[in-house]
Amino acid sequence: MRPVQRRQQGLQYGVYLLAMQALNFGVDKIPPATLITIIGQVLLYVGLIKVPWNAEEVCISAIKVFKYYDWNSFIVSNFEHGSDMHLYYNMISLILKGSYLEPMYGAMNFVTLLAIFSLGCSAMYAGLGYGLMQLTGDYGYYTQCAIGFSAVLFALKVLLVCEEHDRIHDVGGFRVPSKIAVWVELILIHLLVPQSSFIGHLGGILVGCLYCYTFIGEIIDNIIGTVTGTPIIHEEQFYRRRSSFLR
């Protein structure tokens, strides 16, 4: 999401709504790493985690990365949010995706994967911004700034599709096959929420595709296993998708 206003500290409607939805879902049913990640982002948004920046100051853009080497934005932009409802929708999505993936991978493997996806999404966002500027001559792609966890969530969405058996997804009232669900969601969000970051969401999808469908995923799995000491285990469906794509 593009940062359009200064974050207001304190509890807002979206935060209350998130708390109610988490209680309805069952806090005890949310895996620990997912829950801690959500709590951390909520505390950061409401200002209980004290940091020496405003959310708008750490939005990521290609110019910040390639010209000014702003590594602070590169790392933390994914965890800041521009509004309480932006935070709400992202954290609800994380509850659903984390509740499926974390028990499968284990808490430490899932946290490590989130960290790698976060860095990958930042790199992809900056790379797309620079590449589109070079391709189109539009300097706006180079300077467009964004914050939020949405890109990581799109990467997780691709991963979720790779792990599960083919089925029909409901995306905004449209019933579509799983293999195109993430692309339909990308287009719908761009049409319904034009201030959202299309480049960020697209970057998240591409990061997810690199992980699921290329040798890069195997390298990441090896890194995760080395860091945590526990191999990351995928469903058989995941390996079939990766091997069929690489043939």
Residue pair 34/94 in contact by the 8 Å Cβ criterion: yes
**Using CA atoms, how far apart are residues 78 and 203, in angstroms rounded to an integer?**
12
- Region of 26 (left: φ > 0; alpha: ψ -120 to 50; beta: rest) is left
**201 noted as active-site residue:** yes
Tokens 């539009």 appear where?
A: 138
Q: Which of 122, 150, 196, 197 is catalytic?
A: 150
Count Cβ atoms below 10 Å from residue 54 Cβ, excluding itself: 12
Closest CA to 222 of 103, 112, 118, 107: 112
**169 noted as active-site residue:** no
Strands (E), the chain: 168-171, 174-177
- In degrees, rounded to 5, the angle at the alpha carbon of residue 62 between the alpha carbons of residues 198 and 98 is 50
Residues marked active site are found at: 150, 201
